[in-house]
A and B are shown apart, each in its own frame.
Chain A
């Protein structure tokens, strides 16, 4: 048996590679088509939420310097002699969705981004849940079934370096 890379220029390997690229191309078109659908139908509420969050964080920042006063609790000095604004205004990137987020708005952002309850949870898991279920069950599954994925999500990818843990478990939060 020749090694994996040995026959890479042999006609058989070339045909195999062509077949693989063919398959991959179909899958790419699938993904693109689905994302196109999500974008055009406005199913991904995150698309417009970012502006909403920016607006809210801008409001929060504006509200702060507007309330000054000597014995105002907001201007209390801590033991290191530092004052902190009431609403944290530092910006960083959310580790879940990668978007720039204001610290003071992080908790509400996480709620929407990771899925707190019914609405966010089901809409966010819909496509990956259905896709997972379709491929492993072969039967139509209702949307409200994130917990029946237990058997699927325990599968560990073989030696792949790509996955960060949470991408498999993202929407499994009870």
Chain B
């Protein structure tokens, strides 16, 4: 074959994404790779259990399941039931603590 051996590989239309990561995605990747995301999850879970948030959410789910009939509920239903109240009822101190940790992670990581 006489054609140039150095011809660049044919760009494959499926292979583009690599250069287009948003900053948010990069942050997410760094969080996961460093293991920090896992730690943050555990911390958040623990705080939410301690303050009774988890029990509140479970009570909401139970009430909903009782109303709708326990075999008629889907995970999706329950997520929709919990999400608004859940987001609103996270205690401020818990939220502040987590945000603080995330922010210090962000400053410590070169981006």
- Residues on A close to B: CB < 8 A? 4, 11-13, 15-36, 39-40, 42, 44, 46-48, 50, 97-98, 127-128, 131-132, 135-136, 155, 157-164, 167-168
Given contacts A16-B103, A39-B73, contact A27 B41 (CB under 8 A): yes
Q: Which one, B86, B91, B98, contacts A20 given CB within 8 A?
A: B98
Q: How far is the CA of A163 from the CA of B55 in the complex (A)?
A: 10
Q: How far is the CA of A160 from the CA of B92 in the complex (A)?
A: 8
Q: How far is the CA of A9 from the CA of B44 in the complex (A)?
A: 23
List CB contacts (< 8 Å) of B56-111 with chain A: 56-59, 61-62, 65-66, 70-71, 73-75, 78-79, 81-83, 86-87, 89-91, 93-96, 98-99, 102-103, 106-107
User: Chain B: how many interface residues by the 8 Å CB criterion?
Assistant: 54
Give B53's nearest chain A residue, CB to CB.
A162
Binding site of B, secondary structure by majority: helix, strand, loop or mixed?
helix
List 13 additional A-B contacts (Cβ < 8 Å) besides A17-B99, A40-B71, A160-B93. Answer: A11-B23, A12-B106, A15-B24, A16-B106, A19-B40, A23-B40, A28-B57, A28-B79, A32-B82, A35-B65, A135-B42, A159-B93, A163-B50
Contact across chains for B52 and A164 when beta carbons are under 8 A apart: yes
Q: How far is the CA of A50 from the CA of B65 in the complex (A)?
A: 13
Contact across chains for A160 and B46 when beta carbons are under 8 A apart: no
Contact across chains for B49 and A128 when beta carbons are under 8 A apart: yes
A27 CB contacts on chain B under 8 angstroms: 41, 44-45, 48
B83 to chain A, nearest CB (A): 6
B46 CB contacts on chain A under 8 angstroms: 135-136
